[in-house]
A and B are shown apart, each in its own frame.
Chain A
Amino acid sequence: MIIGKIEDGIVLDHITAGRGMEIYRTLHLDELDCSVAMITNADSVKMGRKDIIKIGRVIDINLDVLGFIDPGITVNIIRGGKLYKRERLTLPKSLKGVLKCKNPRCITTVEPELVSEFRLSEVDSRTYRCIYCEALAQLP
């Protein structure tokens, strides 16, 4: 499979196989006007299988969100056809305004102007809880 090399853009590499679509949706890549390529189940020496996303423009990406979904991702920023910067991810301490709380009893469900916030409550299990109701974070 051939997907053109990008001049300026972002390559999200080493996505855990199967998580690509989740990331596509969460970062709202469907709303971009540039080209976006998704490669699923690519061969990887390190991981066996992986997903890759190529975005044909340098956009602002919320690295905290990526770190929350899949901290193993490598973010490669490409400028002029060359690797300009490589970002490694960390587990964010808190996620603001990204995920909606799914607990129907949570105050954020009736007051939409409140900014949602989830905090890392346990590092090993990558557990995030709503600061308002303590419900576990769920992906959209």
Chain B
Amino acid sequence: MKHCIDIKDFTVDEINELIATAEDIIENPVKYAHTCNGKKMATLFYEPSTRTRLSFEAAMYELGGVVLGFSEAASSSVSKGESVADTVRTVACYADIIVMRHPKEGAPLVASMKAGIPVINAGDGGHNHPTQTLTDLLTIKREKGGFSGLTIGICGDLKFGRTVHSLINAMSRYPDVSFVLISPEELCIPDYVKEETLIPKNIPFIETTSLDDAMPYLDILYMTRVQRERFFNEADYLRLKDTYILTPDKLKNAKPDLSIMHPLPRVNEISVAVDDDPRACYFRQVRYGKFIRMALILRLLEISV
């Protein structure tokens, strides 16, 4: 039985297959409208994440399935201290597939070992968030037509942002990709990403503190949040926060076919004035998130169309 716990559980071929299914869903939504009739998805959200939950729910409804579950631990029996293993064994009596968000790292893996039905990790405490990475990959495929030959700029918090590490890992499996890693020194990419992924795979990358310098070379600009709590002191935060805010002015030197991505929600790192620029694709990215989740649900339920 296949689960989706870590993006590394999927081979490049399997990812390409998911993307192909998602693209077919985009072209022929009617063909998929009843593929999950009679199937139930349980969304077990031990911490609230409304966006991710809505995306999964919308995905399941569009496939003709139904959704049950809870959206925070306080409103369920799990607040009485029930173990993840017991909860998923119970839920598996009612549902065909589980989507789990949990503040503790590894909880969805525990669920996958005990449930007996497919489990999707919808985020485990900043550890893994594979459907975000799948969303990013489908977005790149749709916006750029493919993965090879791209220069990908990633800007903001590259130290703590695990979705960034996982995107680098996933993209490094495609040929002729290079990275420009843009961040304040305090939030630069951790050594292990360089030592375990970039250097052994001979992937060209540049680290810089200047978004302006990097801009003209980028095919993709992936913006992330720079959070106040990541800084040791308020002065550093105030000094740096505006440097990494994307404005129409900063886009003057950008390529005409740049794709601007962001995992959302944003705080202020992309000015709303950028939203109407056709190069801004972060709201399309949200839509792609639903389609790739539809493809994933079909795959894990072993429903072929």
User: Which of A's residues lie within 8 Å of B, judged by CB?
Assistant: 103, 105-111, 113-114, 130-134
Contact = CB atoms under 8 A, between A and B. Distances in A.
B104 interface: yes
Contacts of B110: 107, 111, 114, 132
Contacts of B125: 105
B83 A130 contact: no
A134 B104 CA distance: 12
Q: Describe A's contact surface by its main secondary structure.
A: loop
A31 B221 CA distance: 59
A130 B106 contact: yes
Given A105-B127, A134-B127, A113 B105 contact: no
A135 B103 CA distance: 16
B104 A110 contact: yes
A107 B124 CA distance: 9
B100 to A, nearest CB: 11
Interface in B72-124: 83-85, 102-107, 109-110, 124
A134 B125 CA distance: 13
B35 to A, nearest CB: 33
**Which interface residue of A103, A114, A132 has the most chain B CB atoms within 10 A?**
A132
Contacts of B102: 107
17 contacts: A103-B105, A105-B103, A105-B126, A105-B127, A106-B104, A106-B105, A107-B102, A107-B105, A107-B107, A111-B84, A130-B106, A132-B107, A132-B109, A133-B105, A133-B106, A133-B127, A134-B105
Contacts of B127: 105, 133-134
Contact of B109 (A105, A109, A113, A131): A131
Given A105-B125, A105-B127, A131 B83 contact: no
A115 to B, nearest CB: 10
Contacts of B83: 111, 113
B89 to A, nearest CB: 14
A106 B107 CA distance: 8
A113 B127 CA distance: 22
A108 B124 CA distance: 13
Contact of A106 (B85, B106, B126): B106
A132 B105 contact: yes
Given A107-B102, A109-B104, 9 more contacts: A105-B104, A108-B106, A111-B85, A131-B109, A132-B105, A132-B106, A132-B109, A133-B106, A134-B127
A124 to B, nearest CB: 12
Closest 10 CB pairs of A and B: A132-B106, A133-B105, A107-B106, A107-B104, A107-B107, A133-B106, A105-B105, A105-B125, A106-B105, A111-B83
Contacts of A132: 105-107, 109-110
Contacts of A113: 83
Contacts of B84: 107, 111
B114 to A, nearest CB: 10
A110 B84 CA distance: 10
B249 to A, nearest CB: 39
